[in-house]
């Protein structure tokens, strides 16, 4: 057996990983009367990290209700500054002050967010600066651009068409993932943890005697990178269909049914059929409808109209978690 | 039979009246973790009119949930500008814009409210001026003073002691009520509706022949005027006990149990026992506890500690409506 350093416990983080992308719907409504619905907010989990997308009034209560461990949030993405997507944010930020949060928080949003939040905090007796580093990132909602990145994920702004309002969706795209090391091989070759990142990246193992163990004997191929696109409030847009081309899961607003196409047009929204048309054009894996108008008691109509155009459609349900699966 | 004008239908409004004062609790919590609780908000109904008191995040959803017909609201009273009492207001005001409300709205609050709301509206794409007359009334929270009045009701600001924050409670006091006309007497004497207000105010009826019908033959005595005091966030205060002396129902915050008296002191709040002590000093009819800290799963402890001091105590339950009854 080759003599290497013993593998410390820390190495377990290279092995045990929640290799998934999951979307939890916190709110699927567009406004009152509420029909039991709440304002737009979603949690996207990528591996062990969670992201909050939009934050309508009541989001913190919804996160509590659905047992989201939201104190771990470090990034929030806000599509636009309409109340039904943002009025829950200042409450959440304030609650974290009361809990004496110290973890930094980054907020990505179109212009105006910093003034909105700082005015609210100042007038509502919150000590500024708050207990944690709070950073505002102004996003140009008119351009498709990378706004955030980790070693495994990229987030892009997706320009939406919402009555001229600065409004963007978000495209979450995983980078190609590292290979998975077969645990039994670590024991077999007594591989030190310092070599594990390289092996996960595809390197072969050179044993002390010079013998080479090919990477494919040590690892298993990773799952395909996943992608999720969130289109909050928008008229149906050909450009959006191009930007979200081939995503595994597309959330697209479907505020109205076809009978209210004029209302959709006037208010800068989409019908369920229009959302499905975008999904078909973009060749996405699955479509999730949301942002339902309060005029509808249920979403049966949305589902029927959308599925007639694009079969792999679901209507977003609050509290439900959707696994993002590779589209093939 | 005396010949008078026939009584038109309009007169029914003098006869049929919901002669009550009722309080509906929309939120009884002070912050997360929520234990199923919501932020402070209440609806006080006086006769056929409703008033909103405080408006924490989620208030509009709570009103919808408990079937409050909140589009009829014309006055809102906000105790102070802390988020858990006010972050639901801008969402509510915005929703009314979407519904194209035209009914005027008056908001009574300590300084800062107009800037808070107008900044939110401006940055969040709400067309200003809004669709309805929106009037802000700046209340000096440091003085006990009448801030609002109708022919039957007066509302006073009650200075509270909340860590130096401009914060006031509200005292709703009915004026002495008009006498109730016995409907059969209207028919018997064919009384024209123009005379009804005078008779309700205590006048006798002079028949065309000069004969006098004494008022007590025509009317029944009204119920005693009722009063309700709302003390949102406050350290226990002797002055408050004086101002709310003898009210029929006192809502007093009881954020903490006695074991957390130091926390109460530091944060400008009260324990349940302290709230009960105020109720006893003030000789109120009934005490309602609220604003419970999220650290407590239930309110059994609050109730037990308060009742040991003041027996006629209840713990505010969300969705429950409390009849304000005369204290005798």
pLDDT (tens digit, 9 = 90+) per residue, A240-295?
999 999 999 999 999 999 999 999 999 999 999 999 999 999 999 999 999 999 99
Q: What does the pLDDT read at residue A13? A: 37
Residue A16 banded pLDDT, cuts 50, 70, 90? very low
Minimum distance, in Å, between the CA of residue B72 and any CA atom of chain A: 15
pLDDT at A3 over 50: no
Does residue B326 have a pLDDT over 90?
A: yes
User: Please, are residues B159 and B244 in contact by the beta-carbon 8 Å criterion?
Assistant: no
User: What are the structure tokens assigned to B90, written together?
Assistant: 């801008």
* pLDDT the model gives residue A35: 84
Q: For residue A61, what pLDDT is reported?
A: 94
Task: Work out the angle between the directed axes of helices A89-98 and A113-123 (0-180°, nearest 10).
Answer: 50
How many Cα atoms are found within 13 Å in the side-chain-facing hemisphere of A2? 19
Residue A324, both tokens: 């993002």
**Exposed e or buried b per residue across B15-54, where buried means at least 16 C-beta atoms within 10 angstroms of its C-beta:** eeeeeebbbbbbbbbbbbebbebbbbbbbbbbeeebbbbb
Chain A neighbors of B38, CB-CB under 8 A:
61
Q: Where are the alpha helices (DSSP H) in B157-299?
A: 183-189, 196-200, 215-218, 238-243, 261-267, 272-282
Can you tell me which residue has the tokens 């509502």? A124
Cβ distance B64 to A123 less than 8 Å, yes or no, reads no
What mean pLDDT is reported for chain A?
93
Q: Rounded distance, CA B89 to CA B83, Å?
A: 10
What is the mean predicted confidence (pLDDT) over A300-305?
98
Chain A and chain B share a number of CB contacts under 8 A equal to 95
pLDDT at B37: 94
B93: confidence class by pLDDT, cuts 50, 70, 90: very high
Q: How many CA atoms are closer than 13 Å to the CA of B92, on its beta-carbon side?
A: 28
| Burial class, B322, CB count within 10 angstroms (exposed 0-12 / middle 13-18 / buried 19+) | buried
> Given the DSSP bridges, would you call strands B21-27 and A321-323 parallel, antiparallel or unpaired?
unpaired
Residues 87 through 146 of chain A touching chain B, CB cutoff 8 Å: 87-88, 90-91, 94-95, 98-99, 112, 115-116, 119-120, 123-126
Q: Does the pLDDT at position B3 exceed 90?
A: no
The mean per-residue pLDDT over the stretch B102-123 comes to 98
| Inter-chain residue contact A34 with B64, CB threshold 8 Å | yes
pLDDT digits (tens, 9 = 90+) for A98-155: 999 999 999 999 999 999 999 999 999 999 999 999 999 999 999 999 999 999 999 9
| pLDDT the model gives residue A32 | 67
Q: How far is CA B123 from CA A126, A190, B19, B136, in A?
A: 20, 60, 43, 19
Q: How would residue A33 be classed by pLDDT, with cut points 50, 70 and 90?
A: low
Q: Residue B81: what pLDDT?
A: 98
Written as six digits, the tokens of A160 are 């939406």
Provide the pLDDT for residue A5.
Answer: 34
Q: What is the mean pLDDT of residues B227-234?
A: 98
The β-bridge relationship of strands B49-55 and B41-46 is antiparallel
- What was the pLDDT predicted at B18? 62
pTM across the whole model: 0.90
> What pLDDT, on the 0 to 100 scale, is given for residue A7?
35
The residue assigned the tokens 């998934």 is: A20
Enumerate helices (H) and strands (E) in chain B, giving the number of each.
12, 18
- Residue A62 near residue A318 (C-beta atoms within 8 A): yes
Q: A153-163 burial, b for 16+ CB within 10 Å, e for fewer?
A: bbbbbbbbbbe
Whether B74 has a pLDDT exceeding 50, the answer reads yes
Please determine, for residue B14, whether its predicted confidence score (pLDDT) is greater than 80: no
Architecture of the domain made up of B18-176+224-323: 4-Layer Sandwich (3.60)
Confidence check: pLDDT of B202 > 70? yes
Backbone angles phi, psi at A157, to 5 degrees: -80, 140
ipTM confidence score = 0.89
The pLDDT of residue A149: 97
Distance CA A242, CA A188 (A): 48
Task: Tell me which of B95, B100, B114, B136 to substitute to probe the interface with A (most A C-beta atoms closer than 10 Å).
Answer: B95
Q: How far apart are CA A230 and CA A134, in angstroms?
A: 24
pLDDT of residue A1: 34
Q: Is-catalytic flag, A84? A: yes
Q: Phi first, then psi: give them for residue B6, nearest 5 degrees.
A: -65, 150
Pairwise CA distance, residues A102 & A79, whole Å: 25
pLDDT tens sequence across B145-154: 999 999 999 9
Please state which CATH class domain A19-177+223-323 belongs to: alpha beta
CA distance A243 to A163: 19
pLDDT at site A322? 98
Question: Chain B closest CA to A99's CA: distance in Å?
Answer: 9
8 A C-beta contact, residue A275 and residue A254: yes
Antiparallel, parallel or unpaired: β B249-253 and A153-159 = unpaired
- Cis peptide bond upstream of B129, omega within 30: yes
- Interior CA angle at B136 toward B130 and B141, to 5°? 155
Q: How far A120 CA lies from chain B's nearest CA (Å)?
A: 6
Choosing from B47, B54, B71, B84, the catalytic residue is: B84
**Residue B7's CB: how many other CB atoms inside 10 A?**
18
* pLDDT score at A205: 96
Residue B32, pLDDT score = 67
Q: How confident is the model at residue B175 (pLDDT cuts 50, 70, 90)?
A: very high
Tens of pLDDT, residue by residue over A243-257, are 999 999 999 999 999
**Inter-chain CB proximity B81 and A126 less than 8 Å:** no
| Structural domain boundaries in chain A | 19-177+223-323, 180-217
Beta strand pairing call for B41-46 and A205-206: unpaired
Chain B nearest-CA residue for A86:
B124
Query: What's the token pair of residue B318?
Result: 């969300």
pLDDT in tens, A185-219: 999 999 999 999 999 999 999 999 999 999 999 99
Mutant choice from A56, A91, A116, A263 vs B, greatest count of B C-beta within 10 A: A91
């Amino acid at each position: 057996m080759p003599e290497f350093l013993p593998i410390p416990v820390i190495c377990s983080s290279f092995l045990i990983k929640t290799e998934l992308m999951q979307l939890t719907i916190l709110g699927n409504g567009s406004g009152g009367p509420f029909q039991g619905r709440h304002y737009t907010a979603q949690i996207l989990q990528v591996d062990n990290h969670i992201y909050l997308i939009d934050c309508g009034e009541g989001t913190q209560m919804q996160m509590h209700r659905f047992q989201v461990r939201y104190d771990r949030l470090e990034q929030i993405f806000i599509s636009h500054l309409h109340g039904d997507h943002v009025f829950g944010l200042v409450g959440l930020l304030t609650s974290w002050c009361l809990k004496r949060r110290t973890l930094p928080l980054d907020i990505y949003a179109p212009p105006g967010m910093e003034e909105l939040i700082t005015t609210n905090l100042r007038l509502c007796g919150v000590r500024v600066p708050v207990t944690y580093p709070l950073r505002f990132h102004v996003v140009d909602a008119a351009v498709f651009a990378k706004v955030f990145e980790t070693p495994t994920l990229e987030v892009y702004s997706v320009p939406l068409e919402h009555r001229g309002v600065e409004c963007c969706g978000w495209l979450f795209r995983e980078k190609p993932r590292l290979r998975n090391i077969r645990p039994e091989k670590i024991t077999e070759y007594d591989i030190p943890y310092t070599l594990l990142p390289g092996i996960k990246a595809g390197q072969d193992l050179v044993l002390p005697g010079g013998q080479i163990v090919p990477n494919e004997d040590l690892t298993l191929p990773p799952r395909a990178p996943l992608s999720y696109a969130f289109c909050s409030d928008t008229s149906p847009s050909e450009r959006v269909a191009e930007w979200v081309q081939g995503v595994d899961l597309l959330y697209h607003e479907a505020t109205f049914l076809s009978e209210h196409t004029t209302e959709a047009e006037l208010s800068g929204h989409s019908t369920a059929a229009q959302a499905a048309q975008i999904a078909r054009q973009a060749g996405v894996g699955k479509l999730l409808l949301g942002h339902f108008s309060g005029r509808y008691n249920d979403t049966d109509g949305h589902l029927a109209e959308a599925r007639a155009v694009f079969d792999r459609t679901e209507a977003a349900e609050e509290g439900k978690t959707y696994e993002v699966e590779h589209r093939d």
